[in-house]
Amino acid sequence: MSSVFPLSGESTASREFAIDVVRQLRAAGAVAYWAGGCVRDLLMGQRAKDYDVATSAPPEHVRTLFGKKRTLSVGASFGVIVVLPTVPGAEPVEVATFRTEGPYHDGRRPSQVTFATPEEDARRRDFTINGMFYDPLEQRVLDFVGGQADIEVRRLRAIGDPLERMTEDKLRMLRAVRFAATLEFELDPQTRDAVRQMAGEIQVVSAERIAQELRRVLAHPQRARGFELMSETGLLPVLFPELTNETQPAAAVLAVLPKCARFELAAAAMWHTLPATPHEPRTRQEAAGTVWDIARRLKLSVHEMQSIAWLVSHQNQWHTAILQTDAQLKRILAHPLATDLRHLVRALAASRGASQLSSDFIDAYLAEHSHEQIHPPELVSGRDLIESGLRPGPRFKEILDTLRDAQLNGELRDRETALERLRKMIAPA
């Protein structure tokens, strides 16, 4: 259960501070260990992202010990106190009192917590690899749940009865996928079956928490494995019913995901077969079944939504590049996401063995046109329109767009000609 195991790892300010927090708790007569993710990461020989401490000291004692000013009570009802660092460059340490949780009534969070023993605290955690403690003073691992053995064989396994654990907190299903994918662990068959059985209930979890997990899976180099696991466990069709019956696109998605190194790009790859418009639909009906619909449902940020919808909606324009006017092409190529779109379209075409003709055409176009030619400074601005007596509105924008198109198409080369054209446009008929 407890084994001496000096964990290597460079001495960082955060690590020193996290040792110090344990030392102080211990000096005050409490039991205190590092817990959870940091123990897992260190046992795997990786750098710990942050250090969490679990202790027998109740939250009030933790606050008294470290001082009100140096602590934040973030989850007092869960017994979690953040201790702010005294060491420059160190991260805050979360100190949580050993607890049990339950019962879970809503499949999301426990109705109450009770302070408990270290072993009970280990057992309320989600996966064996996340359920270990480490005593940094005596260099001992405390493993009540078989986490070390699972790290050894690279297996992600729920603590206790997988079905019960997924029923208590449905987010654990997505966490299972994320940890298995990102750590490159096998998903233990019973844990996988439990996720499969419960997948339909992932919906009870808040959009924000689902989106947060998706971001972490899709931003990770192992995102294709994450996608595959979501598909195998049945989470994918529940999260995105819009994607069902698309076996062919799923294969294309799997093939391109390794190259989609950002969340927005990966999401665009995942949803590339769905309808999207460059502009946000005004009503729910208009958005139904589209990329916008999913993005809104997940409560993605406006920037994320716009980026994903732009990428998905401009694929077609890319395919028909040869038929586009210079202005149309330049507008796409001047967009901040143009390079991402370029990679996405190429990768998708490659995965299907489709022609790269339009991408080749665009690459040649890019080679022949300077940035200045693709994205030249505007010849006329809104100010010019106002000075000509126009007021901002739809007509205003239309005129600006027409002038810009003419400029990009090479019809207007200098400001004088552009102003001349403006005068003609607004002259009374």
- The footprint of ligand ATP (CB under 6 A) covers 36-37, 49, 52, 125-126, 130-131, 169, 171-172
**Contact yes or no for 159/132 (Cβ under 8 A):** no
Kindly indicate which of the ranges 34-42, 100-108, 111-119, 185-193 contains the residues binding Mg ion, using the contact rule CB under 5 A.
Answer: 34-42
Kindly indicate which of the ranges 32-40, 215-223, 229-237, 313-321 contains the residues binding Mg ion, using the contact rule CB under 5 A.
Answer: 32-40
**Contact yes or no for 418/380 (Cβ under 8 A):** yes
**Contact yes or no for 208/202 (Cβ under 8 A):** no
Cβ-closest residue to ligand ATP?
37
CA distance 96 to 81: 6
For ligand ATP, the closer CB: 36 or 226 = 36
169 binds, among ligand ATP, Mg ion, none (CB under 5 to 8 A by kind): ligand ATP
Kindly indicate which of the ranges 37-45, 85-93, 199-207, 377-385 contains the residues binding Mg ion, using the contact rule CB under 5 A.
Answer: 37-45
331 binds, among Mg ion, ligand ATP, none (CB under 5 to 8 A by kind): none
Beta bridge partners of 100: 114
CA distance 1 to 133: 10
210: its two tokens: 């689902």
Taking the complex as a whole, the smallest distance from the CB of residue 122 to ligand ATP amounts, in Å, to 8
Q: Which of 32, 37, 59, 422 binds Mg ion (CB under 5 A)?
A: 37
126 binds, among Mg ion, ligand ATP, none (CB under 5 to 8 A by kind): ligand ATP
For ligand ATP, the closer CB: 184 or 286 = 184
Taking the complex as a whole, the smallest distance from the CB of residue 208 to ligand ATP amounts, in Å, to 14
Q: What's the per-residue H, E or C state across the chain?
A: CEEECCCCCCCCHHHHHHHHHHHHHHHCCCCEEEECHHHHHHHCCCCCCCCEEEECCCHHHHHHHHCHHHEEEEEHHHCEEEECCCCCCCCCEEEEECEEECCECCCCCECCEEECCHHHHHHCCCEHHHCCEEECCCCEEECCCCHHHHHHHCEECECCCHHHHHHHCCHHHHHHHHHHHHHCCEECHHHHHHHHHHHHHHHHCCHHHHHHHHHHHHCCCCHHHHHHHHHHCCHHHHHCHHHCCCHHHHHHHHHHHHHCCCHHHHHHHHCCCCCCCCCCCCCHHHHCCCHHHHHHHCCCCHHHHHHHHHHHHCHHHHHCHHHCCHHHHHHHHCCCCHHHHHHHHHHHHHHHCCCCHHHHHHHHHHHHCCHHHHCCCCCCCHHHHHHCCCCCCHHHHHHHHHHHHHHHCCCCCCHHHHHHHHHHHHCCC
Taking the complex as a whole, the smallest distance from the CB of residue 368 to ligand ATP amounts, in Å, to 47
130 binds, among Mg ion, ligand ATP, none (CB under 5 to 8 A by kind): ligand ATP
Taking the complex as a whole, the smallest distance from the CB of residue 94 to Mg ion amounts, in Å, to 8
For Mg ion, the closer CB: 37 or 226 = 37
Taking the complex as a whole, the smallest distance from the CB of residue 124 to ligand ATP amounts, in Å, to 6
Taking the complex as a whole, the smallest distance from the CB of residue 145 to Mg ion amounts, in Å, to 17
The C-alpha torsion from 60 through 65 and 69 to 74, rounded to 10°, is -40
With binding defined as CB under 5 A, does residue 59 bind Mg ion? no
307 binds, among Mg ion, ligand ATP, none (CB under 5 to 8 A by kind): none
For Mg ion, the closer CB: 37 or 110 = 37
For Mg ion, the closer CB: 37 or 136 = 37
For ligand ATP, the closer CB: 158 or 298 = 158
Taking the complex as a whole, the smallest distance from the CB of residue 169 to ligand ATP amounts, in Å, to 5
For ligand ATP, the closer CB: 49 or 423 = 49
Taking the complex as a whole, the smallest distance from the CB of residue 33 to Mg ion amounts, in Å, to 15
259 binds, among Mg ion, ligand ATP, none (CB under 5 to 8 A by kind): none
Taking the complex as a whole, the smallest distance from the CB of residue 402 to Mg ion amounts, in Å, to 53
CA distance 392 to 283: 25
CA nearest to 61, candidates 110, 99, 24, 100: 24
For Mg ion, the closer CB: 99 or 346 = 99
For ligand ATP, the closer CB: 100 or 402 = 100
171 binds, among ligand ATP, Mg ion, none (CB under 5 to 8 A by kind): ligand ATP
For ligand ATP, the closer CB: 130 or 222 = 130
Taking the complex as a whole, the smallest distance from the CB of residue 267 to ligand ATP amounts, in Å, to 20
Chain residues binding Mg ion by CB under 5 A are: 37
